[in-house]
Amino acid sequence: MSYIKIWLIFLACFVGLNVSWSQSNFEGLGETGFDINTDVSSNYKVNFAIRSRYYLYQDKDFNFENRQLDFVHFSTLSLDYNHSVSLGIQYRIRESIDGGSNELRLTQQFNYTKKREALRFGHRVRFEQRILENFTILRTRYRFALDFPLNGEKLDIGEAYLIGSMEALISHNKNLKPELDHRTTAHIGWLISDKLKIQFGMEYRFEAFNLNTEEKLFLLTSAILKI
């Protein structure tokens, strides 16, 4: 099946990653999220999410340590069947958890999706303003993603699906050098009911690879509820 071949390309990105567990610039983290989606009208929907991020491996040792808590909202307007625009706001709590800076994040997004038989692929562009305690970071992101059900051309209740994506990011600030990041993500999910999905996945990040590369592996779990 051609979709499986495409999925194997994404898996190869993980297999081909040269992760050195002994290096101090590698960290392993986990992120657990809960999303609520609702359709306000036929072309307008809103999303609310809460996400908890925590360390699993750092300083060459396995340990569990909370890092941050995120509260996220997105409003999305569909322009037509394939195109949509979104506005988002996010607040990140770190100061009272691990001593990092709290953050207010504003997001503007354009999304294009197209479906070909069972395969759906999408292009997403985001512009973000990350407002921290002492400075603001401007970030541009581009993501290519694809997903498809594992059984047939239509996802039915109780069946699984796969999602893969690659994303490039550039961050800049007038007082800092531009920073380039890359992320590769793979998820497997199940449609539990017509209202609920659960997903498990991994994400590998190369952060600031044009300056001093930091590598991070994320273990991801999430539940998505439609009301």
pLDDT at residue 218 greater than cutoff 80? yes
Domain boundaries defined on the chain: 2-226
Is domain 2-226 classified as CATH 2.40.160?
A: yes
Strands (E), the chain: 26-41, 44-58, 61-78, 83-93, 103-116, 119-131, 136-149, 160-173, 176-191, 196-207, 214-226
0.85 surpassed by pTM: yes
Predicted confidence band at 197 (pLDDT cuts at 50, 70, 90)?
A: very high
C-alpha angle with apex 40: 38 to 41, nearest 5 degrees? 125
- Whether residue 215 contacts residue 26, with contact meaning beta carbons closer than 8 Å, is answered with yes
Please give the pLDDT value at position 212. 87
Please tell me whether residue 193 adopts helix, strand or coil conformation.
Answer: coil
- Long-range contacts of the stretch 176-182 (C-beta < 8 A, 24+): 176/135, 176/137, 177/211, 178/210, 179/207, 179/208, 179/210, 179/211, 180/208, 180/209, 180/210, 181/205, 181/206, 181/207, 181/208, 181/209, 182/206, 182/209
Question: What pLDDT digit, counting tens, does each position of 129-181 carry?
Answer: 999 998 999 999 999 999 999 988 889 999 999 999 999 999 999 888 899 99
